[in-house]
């Protein structure tokens, strides 16, 4: 296996992108990544694109071919593959691109993610996202994703004593970070009262506990590490990769407050990277709901079960804290275009390790990403370091 580095990154601004089409979003992100890597499209060997549900959101399937075509690469017959793993589609597209380079099958590979979610109404969006759960056991009973994560939150709060205020502090912290991120959907700090007094969605989760509906795209370019400096003075090495699966339905799990796939994927990434938790300078975790960030911190091994709420309340997960979580603003404030989120996490990690995360910069040499599909049926983790 060859060592692999990220040589270029690009990301659109996240939000309700009424002026941009699905096609324009991924072309914009890809062009930014190519420019950042100082390469042309003719140098690309392969493309992987994460997308959850363009068929429902914009009535377009055959996404790999569409992206190759509108990126101007179809005449070169570049292989382009769509990758789907619900909200972990982006993270998994990155893992597939990493594997292609590491194996020697390809040299210059694009990993991208895109989703255009606002072209349909809220009812349709809710139904599309529910398809990432078990439709025949959970969806048929009318359970939505806020409802599923509300079950996790209720169980966790009962067993570990997490307070409503500690849970709300996750959102406050992430909006504080998002206010420093020019690509974030929400760029305004909020207060604890804002979260606690927002509309109840699924008890105990309120509106500001939930990630928003978002349009956006991100792209990164990978190359063999031994060629990386042909393109950039600041290559970022992929140190470790881990992927795991679990049951798609919550009722089949022995403990719904512990995401077993996060534990397994994290452990695999750490083993491959040969680093310890104390070496990690920050983590971009999958905070689709505030309770998801609490569980992720613990399941990745950064503290014991039941301690993440206190760490958040004490500011230990803020920028400048012991283990900064989601300096980008996370899914909560940066936004969550589901197919693009995993790539956006890589984009943020590369910017941080290059020292280019103005206003939210963390001084470290190693960062980590954590991308979740559904309620934890698929989890992908990556660890990155300065080359």
Contacts of 215 (CB under 8 A, 6+ apart): 14, 15, 16, 17, 20, 25, 115, 116, 117, 118, 337
Contacts of 24 (CB under 8 A, 6+ apart): none
Q: CA separation (Å) from 308 to 8, 38, 146? A: 33, 41, 21
- Candidate list 175, 210, 286, 336, residue with the active-site label: 336
Distance from chain centroid for Cα 7: 19
Phi, then psi, of 44 in degrees rounded to 5: -75, 135
Query: In sequence order, what are the beta bridge partners of 236?
Result: 6, 386
Contacts of 213 (CB under 8 A, 6+ apart): 16, 117, 118, 122, 125, 336
Inter-residue contact 207 to 59 (CB < 8 Å)? no
Inter-residue contact 157 to 86 (CB < 8 Å)? no
d(CA 134, CA 52): 15
Give the helix/strand (H/E) hosting 1: none
175 is catalytic: no
Q: CA separation (Å) from 349 to 23, 196, 231? A: 25, 30, 19
d(CA 135, CA 139): 4
Q: What is the dihedral of CA 360, 362, 368, 369, to 10 degrees?
A: 0
- Candidate list 11, 87, 210, 288, residue with the active-site label: 87
Terminal Cα-to-Cα distance of the chain (whole angstroms): 17
Give the helix/strand (H/E) hosting 360: none
87 is catalytic: yes
Distance from chain centroid for Cα 382: 11
* Residues marked as catalytic: 87, 336
């Amino acid at each position: 296996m060859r060592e692999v580095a990220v040589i270029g990154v690009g990301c659109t601004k996240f939000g309700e992108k009424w002026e941009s089409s699905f096609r324009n979003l991924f072309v914009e992100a890809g062009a930014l990544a190519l420019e950042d890597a100082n390469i042309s499209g003719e140098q690309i060997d392969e493309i992987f694109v994460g997308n959850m549900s363009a068929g429902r959101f914009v009535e377009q399937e055959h996404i790999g071919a569409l992206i190759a075509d509108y990126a101007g690469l179809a005449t070169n017959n570049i292989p382009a593959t769509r990758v789907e793993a619900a909200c972990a589609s982006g993270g998994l597209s990155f893992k597939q691109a990493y594997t292609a380079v590491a194996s020697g099958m390809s040299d210059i590979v694009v990993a991208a993610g895109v989703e255009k979610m606002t072209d349909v109404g809220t009812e349709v969006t809710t139904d599309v996202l529910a398809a990432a759960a078990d439709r025949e056991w959970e969806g048929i009973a009318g359970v939505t994703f806020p409802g599923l994560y509300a079950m996790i939150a209720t169980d966790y709060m009962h067993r570990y004593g997490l307070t409503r205020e500690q849970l709300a502090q996750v959102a406050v912290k992430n909006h504080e970070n998002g206010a420093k991120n020019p690509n974030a959907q929400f760029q305004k700090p909020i207060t604890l009262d804002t979260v606690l007094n927002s509309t109840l969605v699924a008890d105990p989760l309120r509106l500001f506990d939930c990630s928003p509906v978002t349009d956006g795209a991100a792209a990164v370019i990978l190359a063999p590490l031994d060629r990386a400096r042909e393109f950039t003075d600041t290559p970022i090495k992929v140190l470790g990769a881990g992927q795991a699966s679990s049951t798609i339905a919550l009722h089949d799990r022995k403990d719904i407050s512990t995401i077993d796939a996060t534990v397994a994927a994290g452990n695999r990434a750490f083993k491959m990277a040969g680093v310890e938790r104390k070496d990690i300078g920050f983590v971009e975790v999958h905070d689709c709901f505030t309770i998801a960030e609490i569980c992720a911190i613990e399941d990745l091994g950064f503290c014991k079960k039941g301690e993440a709420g206190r760490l958040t309340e004490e500011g230990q997960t803020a920028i400048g804290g012991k283990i900064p979580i989601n300096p980008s603003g996370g899914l909560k404030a940066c936004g969550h275009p589901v197919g693009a989120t995993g790539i956006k996490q890589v984009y943020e990690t590369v910017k941080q390790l290059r020292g280019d995360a103005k206003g939210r910069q963390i001084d470290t040499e190693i960062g980590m990403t954590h991308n979740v599909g559904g309620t934890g049926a698929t989890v992908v983790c990556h660890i990155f370091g300065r080359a």
